[in-house]
Structure 1
Amino acid sequence: MRSTAAVAVAVLLAACGSAKRGEGNYLLDDIEAQRNLPDSGWEALRPLLPPVPGPSDTLLPVDSLNVNDPFHYGVDPRSVQIAPGQIVRYALVSQSDRGSRNISYESVRCGTREYRLVALAAPGGAWQRAHNDEWQPVQANTVQAVLRAGVLCSGGGVATDKVPNLIARLRNWSQYSDFTAEQNKP
C-alpha cells in the first residue's frame, strides 16, 4: 500500500517537473507582463469615475505617518477599483487641521511604485481632469507610500484580486502597511 502511494506521488512530481513553463503559469510572469500596460486616458476613465465623496460619506481613515503632515486622510470605499497593469484606483479625501478639504481620484501602479492624479473634485462636487496627470514616483512619508506599501499592493502586484478584500485591508491599513510610525519619527 505504501509503495503504491509512493509511486503515485513520484508520478505526480515527475509530471509537475516536466510541465513546460508557459506564459501566465507563474504569478511573477503575470505581474511582469502587466507591469507596463498603458493606463487608460482621461476620456476612457471619465465615465467610470465614482461619485465625488461628500461630507457625510463614510471614509476609511489612513495616515501618512509623517508627524509633520497637517492633513488627515480617508479613502472612499465605494471608489476602490482594480485596473489592468497592476493599478488600483481610489478617491482620497485630504482634510487639513484648519478645515480645508481636497478630494482627488488617484491611480497607484503597484509594480513600478508610481502614482498619478486622475481627477480632482471641483467646487460644486464634479470631477475635473487633473492638470498634472503624469505618473510620478511615490515619495516616502506620504499617504500614497503607505497605501502602496502593503495595503493596496504587495510583492509588486495588487495585494488581492478582489475589491472587497482591498477594502478590508484599507479598514485595517496599519496591520498591512510596511511602514510604522517608529520608522518616520525624526
Structure 2
Amino acid sequence: MRLPCLILLLSLSMMAASASAESPFVFGPEEVVPKSIKPGEKWTEGAVNLPAWPRDKDLIEINLDHGDGRFTYYLDRASLETGRDGVVRYTIVAEASSGARNISFEGIRCTPNGAYRIYAFGHNDRFKPATGADDWQPITRSQDNPAREELWRHYLCVPRLFKPRPERDQVRMLRSGRVPEIENSGFLTN
C-alpha cells in the first residue's frame, strides 16, 4: 500500500510543478522599472559667461501678481538667454523707491517646482561672481525676491511642459505684463 501512495504523491507533485510553470500568475516580485526603460542622461550645467552691465534702455519692468511693494523689479533684455542646458539666464534689477539698486545675474530651471541660482552680484558697474552659491535653490513664494517666482511661473517657462519658452515669447510677455489665462494654473503649488 505504501508503494501506490508514493507513486500517487510523486505524480501529483509532478503535475503541480508543471501547472505552476504554465500559471498566468507571477509568483516572485516584479522589477520596479521595466527592462525596456533605460536611465536618461544626467543633467549637467553648461558654461556660464557673465553679461555686460545692464543699460536702462534694455530694462523691462516685471509685472508682479503679489509684489512686496518695497522694490520695482526689472529684467535686462540684453542679458536674457536660454542655454543649451535649458537654463534661462538673465540680469535682474531690484530698484527701491529711493533709487538704490540691487543687481544680480541669475538662472532659472523650468523644473516642476522651479530652481534658481545666483551667478554674480553687481557692484560698481561690474559683476562679481557669487561665492558659496554653487547649488540650485528651490523657488518659493516666501522668498525675498518675488520676481523669481513670477518669472518661473508666468514669463520664462511653459507650464506643464517644464521647458523654457521661446525667447521672443518671453520678451513679448514681459513687455505686455500679461499671461494667457489658460496657462495660469499649470505649475504645482508650493
> What is the TM-score when the length of structure 2 is the normalising length?
0.64
Following the alignment from structure 2 to structure 1, what is the Cα–Cα distance between the partners of residues 154 and 68? Answer: 22
| CA shift for structure 1 position 147 | 0.5
How many correspondences in the alignment? 141
Structure with more contact order per residue of length (Cα contacts < 8 Å, sep ≥ 6): 1
CA contact (8 A) 1:85 1:109 kept: no
Q: Larger Cα Rg: Structure 1 or Structure 2?
A: 2
Q: Counterpart in 1 of 2:53?
A: 52
Runs of 4+ in structure 1 displaced over 6 angstroms?
A: none
Q: Counterpart in 2 of 1:15?
A: none
Q: How does 1:1-186 map to 2 (within 5 A)?
A: 37-40=43-46, 44-45=47-48, 48-54=49-55, 56-112=56-112, 113-123=114-124, 125-133=125-133, 134-140=135-141, 142-154=146-158, 155-160=160-165, 162-176=166-180, 178=184
| CA shift for structure 1 position 53 | 0.7
Identity percentage of aligned residues: 24
> What is the TM-score when the length of structure 1 is the normalising length?
0.65
| Range with greater deviation from structure 2 (108-117 or 66-75) | 66-75
Change (3 A) 1:57 1:137: same
Instruction: List runs of 5+ in structure 2 lacking aligned partners.
Output: 1-36, 186-190
Instruction: List runs of 5+ in structure 1 lacking aligned partners.
Output: 1-22, 24-31, 180-186
Amino acid at match of 1:100: A
Amino acid at match of 1:60: I
DSSP 3-state at the match of 1:51: coil
